[in-house]
Structure 1
Amino acid sequence: MPRFSIILPCFKVQGFLGECLDSVLGQSFRDIEVIAVDDCSPDGSGAILDEYAARDDRVRVLHLEENAGLGRARNAGMPHATGDYLFFLDSDDTLTPGALAAMADRLAEAEDPDVLVFDYARTYWWGGTRRNALARVLAEAGDGTFTSAEYPEILDLLMVVWNKVYRRDFVEREGFTFPPGYYEDTPWTFPVMFSAERVATLARICLNYRQRRQGNILSTTSRKHFDVHAQYERVFAFLDSHPDLARWRPFLHAKMGEHCLDILSKPDRLPPSDKEEFFRRTAEMFRAYRPEGAETPAELRVLEHGYGAYRLRRRSGQASREVQRRGKQVRGAAGTRLRRVRTAVNTRRPLDPDLAVYSAFSHRGVLGDPAAIYRKAAEIAPGLRGVWVVRDEETAALLPPGTEHVLLNSPAYRRVTERATYFVNNVNWPGAVAKREGSVHIHTHQGTPLKYMGADLLDRRGARQNLDVPGMLRRADRWDHSLVAGRYAERVWERAYPCHFASARTGSPRNDVLVNAGPDDGRPVRARLGIPEGDTVVLYAPTRRDYRRDGLVERIDLARLAAELGEGHTLVVRMHPSLAGGPVRGLGLSELHRRGVVVDATEEPDVADLMLASDVLVTDYSALMFDYVLLDRPVVLHADDWDTYTASRGAYFDVTREAPGHVTRTQGELASLLASGTHRDEESARLRAAFRERFCEYEDGRAAERVVRTLMLGEPMPEPEPSGVPGARAVTTGQDLLSAT
């Protein structure tokens, strides 16, 4: 019989679930069982649970056939528990190191109390941490045990289920279960704490309570907040059935009023049209359950005077805040005011249902995923008008003939962004682009992520390099759809960008050309680049380094490598786009290109052309590898500074252990591998196939069509069938995919 049964309900938590499980299974105290309940989660949570269960026999998984909700999912797990103590852990929270050992020691010291209450810390998406403000209550409780009547201060703590463990035979004897609906912790925690004859405390932070950037489900606007009334009715019914606990009625009566008024005061909880009804229902309950002779606290007397009195009190407070706000407000210049007036007028006009605005790589032209979507829309939805945003006239001059475009920040740009229904981009739109109701923002990203992105960069100060992560996330709040190539990318993006978008399992539109490529598709590109007929083309595409201010670290002597490759080989170099205008080319690459030693293809607009033209890819940690494996051509990973790279930037998994091909650490190894032909042996093919199956599940060559039909035209089209090997298999340790905080 294990000491702890940890019951873990899971619903749409794939971005955090691995970190949660690692924090549990990696504890020094191992006498546990984990009963994980997949509450019919529509994301990859169930698959993640199955993976952990397959490699750790302490994990058992229940897959519910339909969504039951948090409370009933916990109930589903309880009959399977065999441990001395029940621990209901939320699947986006984590245990601190040594937490279970500390709990076990305290339980033994207190001789197995009914309930152990422990401390926690709030951990914020931006990296901040704040300890429970009432931690002193735990410390002041002493070393012994007590009842809530003996130490009522214990009820000042947050009345939630996850900051306590419960002796299982106590729970079973009393018949405690969770009800359906919102606020399901209320009819559990109050009856438990009122009934427990022996309560102990542990003044140690055992749990990190994750504060989601967009809040938890209780922060959403919904009539489900009315559930709180039924939950308190359940607690009053419990007291009615336990006359020996009647002394708690005055306390519960006041707590109910405070809780309901707190919900009502939150601007984002209830639809405005429902607030008066919520107040009325609360006031009715407040009168119905008033204990005889009880005096109403001053802050709750508004419940006795009606909704009008409540609104008057609220308005008084809001008026005071408005005066303060206006005192700080600074008016813009006359031109700014005129633009605001014009924008206000335009945004009152209806959206144009046939207008789509496109941009790629910060307005650099018709490129990447947006370009693939644009071309497919022109083919199958010619009624959609596609307009590109470009940064300047020079860029505009390079657009394909007939491409409708507007210049960034021009009057025409403002007009189309104020009226468009569809927005397609692989970077964030500028902050001035407002998200109008009814508009559809499709974010394509720029590739499958290896290095940390988004909010995961918050603890990587060197990698951020003045990047405004909170501002970036505010812009990402406009996304409606995030395109993913597989379940791995889906998990990473949902974690790195804690916003309210939906992951679209479409595949990557830019990669359709690679999936559907024929053997001769690269010939025109080779001819344009001047590559001799019959040459083996080695494409070298390194990424930038965040541990250098300019991003440049010359890892390979290009002239020497070209010489070592010898006759019959052409070395094509594609530097990271962020380095294209920097010193790297002036420090030798341009000269090598002029002399014919290498082909400098850094300014080639479409990297897919270079992939089609090549025979082998040599890269380090570039996302290009995730695309290149779709061609089923050899990849060599040159990883001579992997430890330094991950220390500065961070990575979601160790690509040197799960590489798409052979890994080299020195230039000599690289040259030998290429010269000997080992880079294209059976092991290389096996690694490449496994990598493709793990990360490219949805790349079926119809991604652009799927985006246009399902996200823009609203037509049904089946999701691509995942490959046989789940993308989640890329996660192998706690320091891999979901280790960032």
Structure 2
Amino acid sequence: MLLSVVVPVHRVQGYLRAALESVTDQSSRDWELIAVDAGPPDGGPDIAREFAERDPRVRVLHPGGSPGEPDPGAPAEPGSPLPSGTPAAPSGVPQPSPHLGAARNAGAAEARGAYLLFLDGDDLLLPGALSEIAARVAADRPDVLRLGHDRVDWWGETRPGDDLPAARNQIFRRAFWTAHGLRFTDGPYDDVVPVHRAALLSSDAGTLAVLDRVCVRHRLRRTGTFATTPGRAHFAVIDAYAHLIAETGGDPRVLTARTAHLRAVLDDPGRIAPGDRAAFFRAAGLLGSHAAHRARQAVRSLRTRAHSALRAGKKSLRARVMRAAYRADLHRPLDPCLAVYGAYWNRGVACNPAAVYAKARELVPHIRGVWVVSSRHLDRMPPGVPYVIEGSRAYWRTMATATYLVNNSSFPGGFTKRPGQIYLQTHHGTPLKTMGLDQRPYPALTNGVSFERVVAHADQWDFSLSANPHTTEVWDRAYPSAYEHLPLGYPRNDVLCTATPELTGKIRADLGIGPGRTVLLYAPTHRDYRRGFLPRLDLERLARDLGEEYVLLVRAHYFYGRSAGEAAGGRVVDVTAHPRVEELCLASDALITDYSSLMFDYACLDRPIVTYAPDWAAYRAARGTYVDLLSGRPGDTPGAVATTEDELRELLRTGAWRSSGAAALRAAFRSRFCPYDDGHAAERVVRRVFPVGPGRGPASPV
């Protein structure tokens, strides 16, 4: 075997899947992959085990501990409500796992390949890299082969890699590594000693080679990593070089490398904070003037302030007046009994925020909930529900003084989140199409979205609600920030788990559906590359073909307002304007959809789901997807599949839509995407976020 790839799994759940796929998808198959659980627990080890289950060349190690033990700071299991008033885990400063070096060492000890490659969970082995490595190794037989490498930031900009020592951009002959007792050290900068020693030893022996082709790409993460968080923990690089100098007898090459590396750490604002620079200078014994560094920092600060002033000057007079009033309100005390809610960009009471609002009224009645609504959607507000109109003076005062903020999209106008305010981002669906920063490869369809604003918005969140592990994995990468994931399920789905036959019957009666009818809910999603609701389905013909027994409820995406209308003697019913899609799900016997995230919620009902995907290739190419609905793999495909109108009519006519095979696919899909849905999500969320019980203060924000 040529190569053993060792990957420590540590806080990389949003990035790990792509890292592992970058190895398993290599055209050369002469490798093994060792994923080492370096804790603390998140979704990463489960992702690694998923790969190991389907490829025998992938192994998962749990060295020196009990990976099954719960993290004391992790949220409780979704199946049981958290104790009331449980505080949030403190955000703290992201620290390197003290076990990363040990994890790499454990992986190396278990390796069977001729060479070792140490990747992190946010690295990628680029396509074709392994074939290039194999050819170079066969030609030169090096002890160390340095690889071309680059890095990509969270905006998608790729830059050349730096020259600092790192294990990721070189491979080591395993016999050489073992013979010289090379090991990663404990704590931060654990690769300084072994990487430099390997370079010195192989250089002296003439067995150091270089492969110029870019083989490894490091994905810079915006937050949640030690390398991007300034603090005195980075002073550990000084100790790492002291250790290296002692081991190499003060080799002059080490001293030169030390100066270059320490200056790079000092100049990196993601590592050494301005207030610590002088202390780092003294501790490192660097030459030169620290005052020069301070002068450069001052110049950068002046440029930033000038840019901010220029932007502020472009605002309209009315906006400046409103903002001035808002800034005055920011000096008012927060109201501990005020929560503000929003849904679908101010379209009214709906989705997860609506379910949280209802449960909060039950469990924390002392907290007053107020909804933000657009003036265009005032008709959607239920009687008696307090609201403010977006952009109004009342809106800005509410945003300035509310302690709790709950939304499934975003609040309008660009508010300033105050210390002490607690923002729960509930989201509004399990992601099938790419979201957040994952949309960057599809610029033609993002309509000028500012990704800077996307991440700035995520910076405001204290809690991000997850419907399933897949969602947690995606949010972690697509919205990189320091919020706490709440893997508690979607409150809007509680009614799907608890509804009685009496409730379902009432909903059907209110919709005018008589007894004994088979109800099919047709709910296609929005296409970024098409205008208006243009279903690739002749609804009236389908209704005629199915006969009097069937009723088609047609639900267009909320972007469109109304669907294609009603026809076929009442057998096609436009329900686009119905205020609660959950009720439509309960009223139906099956769902027909294309790429709508509604399928993930509907799976809670354990009723047939038909995927009608006539333009799957175009949709994937235009927007990108996380799940291959048409693959037929358990967990990916929710049931019967049709790609043409004729296929759809045939599977409905023959009953294939509710066959045993379709039921088996639905069960696997439900298991993957509905693990938390038990009817108690809203209660868990309210107990986690709000102070439940007398005398309790608010939950601690992240």
TM-score (norm 2): 0.87
CA displacement, residues 424-450 of structure 1 (integer Å, 9 cap, x when unaligned): 111122351122222221111111121
Summarize the Cα distance change of 1:431–1:76 in structure 2 as closer, same or farther, 3 Å threshold.
Answer: farther
The yes-or-no answer on 1:225 pairing with 2:234 is yes
Q: Is this contact kept in 2: 1:182–1:218, CA < 8 A?
A: no
Q: Of 408, 414, 421, which residue of structure 2 is paired with 1:426?
A: 408
CA displacement, residues 548-599 of structure 1 (integer Å, 9 cap, x when unaligned): 2x05332111111111121232221111111225xx54xxx15x28x63421
Matches within 5 A, 1:68-147: 68-110=98-140, 112-132=141-161
Distance 2:307 2:26 in 1: 49
The yes-or-no answer on 1:193 pairing with 2:199 is yes
Q: Of 623, 639, 644, which residue of structure 1 is paired with 2:597?
A: 623
The yes-or-no answer on 1:527 pairing with 2:509 is yes
Q: Is this contact kept in 1: 2:408–2:427, CA < 8 A?
A: yes
2:423 aligns with: 441
CA displacement, residues 269-317 of structure 1 (integer Å, 9 cap, x when unaligned): 456665554343234xx5xxxxxxxxxxxxx3226xxxxx467645664
Deviates more, 1:273-282 or 1:571-580: 273-282
Distance 1:323 1:18 in 2: 40
2:280 aligns with: 278
Summarize the Cα distance change of 1:279–1:490 in structure 2 as closer, same or farther, 3 Å threshold.
Answer: same
Partner amino acid for 1:56? D
Q: Is this contact kept in 2: 1:619–1:638, CA < 8 A?
A: yes
Summarize the Cα distance change of 1:463–1:320 in structure 2 as closer, same or farther, 3 Å threshold.
Answer: closer
Give how far 1:329 is off: 6.2
Matches within 5 A, 1:152-231: 157-196=163-202, 197=205, 198-214=207-223, 216-231=225-240
Number of residue-to-residue matches in the alignment: 654
Summarize the Cα distance change of 1:490–1:246 in structure 2 as closer, same or farther, 3 Å threshold.
Answer: closer
The yes-or-no answer on 1:357 pairing with 2:363 is no
Give how far 1:495 is off: 2.4
Matches within 5 A, 1:629-644: 629-644=603-618
The yes-or-no answer on 1:578 pairing with 2:577 is no
Matches within 5 A, 1:363-402: 363-392=346-375, 395-402=377-384
- Secondary structure of the 2:502 match is coil
Distance 2:665 2:301 in 1: 65
> Percent identity between the aligned chains?
43
What is the root-mean-square deviation in Å for CA atoms of aligned residues?
Answer: 2.5
CA displacement, residues 106-136 of structure 1 (integer Å, 9 cap, x when unaligned): 12222x2221111112223333323347xxx
1:246 aligns with: 251
Distance 1:329 1:469 in 2: 18
Q: Of 307, 327, 331, which residue of structure 2 is paired with 1:348?
A: 331
Give how far 1:207 is off: 1.2
Q: Which runs of 5+ in 1 are unaligned?
A: 134-156, 287-299, 304-308, 716-741
The yes-or-no answer on 1:708 pairing with 2:695 is no
Partner amino acid for 1:534? G
Give how far 1:675 is off: 3.5
Deviates more, 1:698-707 or 1:180-189: 180-189
Partner amino acid for 2:347? R
- Secondary structure of the 2:576 match is coil
2:626 aligns with: 652
Summarize the Cα distance change of 1:129–1:314 in structure 2 as closer, same or farther, 3 Å threshold.
Answer: closer
Distance 2:155 2:311 in 1: 27
The yes-or-no answer on 1:55 pairing with 2:49 is no
Give how far 1:471 is off: 2.5
- Secondary structure of the 2:167 match is coil
Summarize the Cα distance change of 1:333–1:425 in structure 2 as closer, same or farther, 3 Å threshold.
Answer: closer
Distance 1:95 1:534 in 2: 57
2:660 aligns with: 682
- Secondary structure of the 2:577 match is coil
1:152 aligns with: none
Q: Is this contact kept in 1: 2:245–2:255, CA < 8 A?
A: no
Deviates more, 1:57-66 or 1:444-453: 57-66
Partner amino acid for 1:175? G
Partner amino acid for 1:599? V
Distance 2:433 2:305 in 1: 46
Give how far 1:487 is off: 0.9
Partner amino acid for 1:50? R
Deviates more, 1:626-635 or 1:198-207: 626-635
Q: Is this contact kept in 1: 2:466–2:489, CA < 8 A?
A: yes
Give how far 1:195 is off: 2.5
1:302 aligns with: 289
In our comparison, the structure showing a higher alpha carbon Rg is: 1
Partner amino acid for 1:185? D
1:607 aligns with: 581
Q: Is this contact kept in 1: 2:466–2:488, CA < 8 A?
A: yes
Give how far 1:366 is off: 0.8
Summarize the Cα distance change of 1:643–1:340 in structure 2 as closer, same or farther, 3 Å threshold.
Answer: closer
Matches within 5 A, 1:552-567: 552-567=533-548
1:40 aligns with: 39
Q: Is this contact kept in 2: 1:10–1:41, CA < 8 A?
A: no
CA displacement, residues 227-281 of structure 1 (integer Å, 9 cap, x when unaligned): 12211211221233xxxx6333642453365245325xx2x54566655543432
Q: Is this contact kept in 2: 1:629–1:688, CA < 8 A?
A: yes
Summarize the Cα distance change of 1:503–1:551 in structure 2 as closer, same or farther, 3 Å threshold.
Answer: farther
1:475 aligns with: 457
1:545 aligns with: 527
CA displacement, residues 473-524 of structure 1 (integer Å, 9 cap, x when unaligned): 3222222222112111211222222233222111000000001112232222
Q: Is this contact kept in 2: 1:120–1:205, CA < 8 A?
A: yes
Partner amino acid for 2:524? P
2:696 aligns with: none
Summarize the Cα distance change of 1:641–1:338 in structure 2 as closer, same or farther, 3 Å threshold.
Answer: closer
Q: Is this contact kept in 2: 1:428–1:472, CA < 8 A?
A: no
Give how far 1:74 is off: 0.8
Distance 1:510 1:327 in 2: 43
1:235 aligns with: 244
Summarize the Cα distance change of 1:629–1:409 in structure 2 as closer, same or farther, 3 Å threshold.
Answer: same
CA displacement, residues 197-250 of structure 1 (integer Å, 9 cap, x when unaligned): 22111111111221223374211133312212211211221233xxxx633364
Distance 2:265 2:604 in 1: 55
Q: Of 637, 650, 661, which residue of structure 2 is paired with 1:672?
A: 650
- Secondary structure of the 1:520 match is helix
Give how far 1:664 is off: 2.1
Give how far 1:714 is off: 7.4
Distance 1:424 1:323 in 2: 32
Give how far 1:333 is off: 5.7
2:669 aligns with: 691
Q: Is this contact kept in 2: 1:544–1:553, CA < 8 A?
A: no
- Secondary structure of the 1:648 match is helix
Deviates more, 1:450-459 or 1:503-512: 450-459
The yes-or-no answer on 1:19 pairing with 2:21 is no
Q: Is this contact kept in 2: 1:536–1:570, CA < 8 A?
A: yes
1:458 aligns with: 440
Q: Is this contact kept in 2: 1:521–1:613, CA < 8 A?
A: no
Give how far 1:343 is off: 3.3
Partner amino acid for 1:556? L
Give how far 1:334 is off: 5.4
Distance 1:541 1:182 in 2: 51
Give how far 1:603 is off: 0.3
Summarize the Cα distance change of 1:82–1:534 in structure 2 as closer, same or farther, 3 Å threshold.
Answer: closer
Q: Which runs of 5+ in 2 are unaligned?
A: 68-96, 694-702
- Secondary structure of the 2:485 match is strand
